[in-house]
């Protein structure tokens, strides 16, 4: 089923209300030290991971620069870029895609301090000359880190950035959506809201999804975040890789 494009109506149809938001947010903040400790352990495991022979030497991009541990939205990108996160160690920062992402983030009224950004694969699948997409096996392999990140941070809203990111989520929580059908819509998936977005790379901006279309998608994301409420700590099923 393809959700309706008018995302805000989709949220209302699912009966979201904001009444418990402040108390749940306070509860999550009170758990911050434990959360920070668990996240540091996860980042350390990722740093030591050598599961993908082609990628492991680049090093996983997962740590404090990824953002807030109580995010209003968790973004899933494709992979650290050769000139971007693999170099700066900050997701979506330092290359052309990062600049466009940062512009779109600001256009939605969001800052890095209130979001978390990760990738379908944590290590950069590039050679010295150009970026390459991760293989299906690599995305599946790294799904254990994505699943644990989602389980740990429990964002009320998840935004996938690009087709591979949307597919990576499908390996954890089965779905059959294609990006061309659901981009810029709001979808209830388990106990969070999903907003699939196109990748902000120059190639995508010039061929598939223009900047003005992507700005409109980010406005839908902003309205979704405003209408969402924080999730209760440690409730619900844990996504696991299949
Ligand atoms: S991409 Fe993920 S699974 Fe593969 S080596 Fe890096 S951290 Fe490990």
Residue nearest to atom 6 of ligand 1 (CA): 123
Confidence of residue 25 (pLDDT cuts 50, 70, 90): low
Name the fold adopted by 7-227. Uracil-DNA Glycosylase, subunit E (3.40.470)
Q: How far is the CA of 149 from the centre of ligand 1 (A)?
A: 14
pLDDT in tens, 61-81: 999 999 999 999 999 999 999
Q: For 45-74, what is the mean pLDDT?
A: 95
Q: For 146-156, what is the mean pLDDT?
A: 97
In contact, 201 and 97? CB cutoff 8 Å: yes
Q: What is the pLDDT of residue 24?
A: 52
**Residue in 138, 144, 168 to alter for ligand 1 test, most ligand atoms within 8 A of Cβ:** 138
Environment class of 151 (CB within 10 Å of its CB; exposed 0-12, middle 13-18, buried 19+): middle
Ligand 1 pocket by Cβ (under 6 Å): 46, 49-52, 55-56, 60, 121-123, 138, 141-142, 145
Which atom from ligand 1 is nearest to the alpha carbon of 134? 1
Instruction: Quote the mean pLDDT of the chain.
Output: 86
Q: What is the pLDDT of residue 130?
A: 85
- The domain spans of the chain are 7-227
In terms of Cα–Cα distance, which of 102, 124, 98 is closest to 112? 102
In terms of Cα–Cα distance, which of 84, 164, 68, 150 is closest to 116? 68
Confidence of residue 26 (pLDDT cuts 50, 70, 90): low
Which atom from ligand 1 is nearest to the alpha carbon of 138? 4
State the pTM of this model: 0.85
Q: For 31-59, what is the mean pLDDT?
A: 93
Q: What is the pLDDT of residue 27?
A: 55
């Amino acid at each position: 089923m393809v959700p309706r494009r008018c995302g805000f109506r989709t949220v209302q149809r699912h009966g979201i209300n904001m009444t418990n938001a402040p108390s749940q947010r306070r509860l999550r903040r009170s758990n911050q030290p434990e959360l920070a400790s668990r996240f540091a352990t996860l980042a350390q495991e990722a740093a030591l991971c050598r599961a993908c022979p082609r990628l492991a030497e680049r090093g996983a991009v997962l740590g404090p620069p990824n953002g807030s541990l109580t995010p209003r939205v968790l973004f899933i990108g494709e992979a650290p870029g050769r000139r971007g996160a693999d170099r700066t160690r900050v997701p979506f920062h330092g290359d052309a895609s990062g600049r466009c992402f940062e512009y779109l983030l600001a256009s939605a009224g969001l800052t890095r301090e209130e979001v978390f950004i990760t990738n379908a694969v944590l290590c950069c699948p590039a050679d010295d000359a150009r970026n390459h997409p991760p293989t299906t096996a690599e995305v599946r392999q790294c799904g254990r880190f994505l699943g644990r990140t989602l389980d740990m941070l429990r964002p009320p809203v998840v935004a996938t950035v690009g087709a591979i990111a949307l597919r990576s989520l499908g390996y954890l929580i089965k779905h059959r959506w294609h990006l061309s059908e659901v981009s810029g819509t709001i979808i209830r998936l388990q106990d969070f809201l999903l907003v699939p977005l196109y990748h902000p790379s120059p190639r995508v901006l010039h061929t598939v999804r223009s900047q003005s279309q992507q700005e409109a998608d980010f406005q839908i994301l902003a309205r979704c975040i405003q209408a969402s409420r924080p999730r209760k700590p440690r409730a619900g099923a844990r996504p696991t890789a299949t």
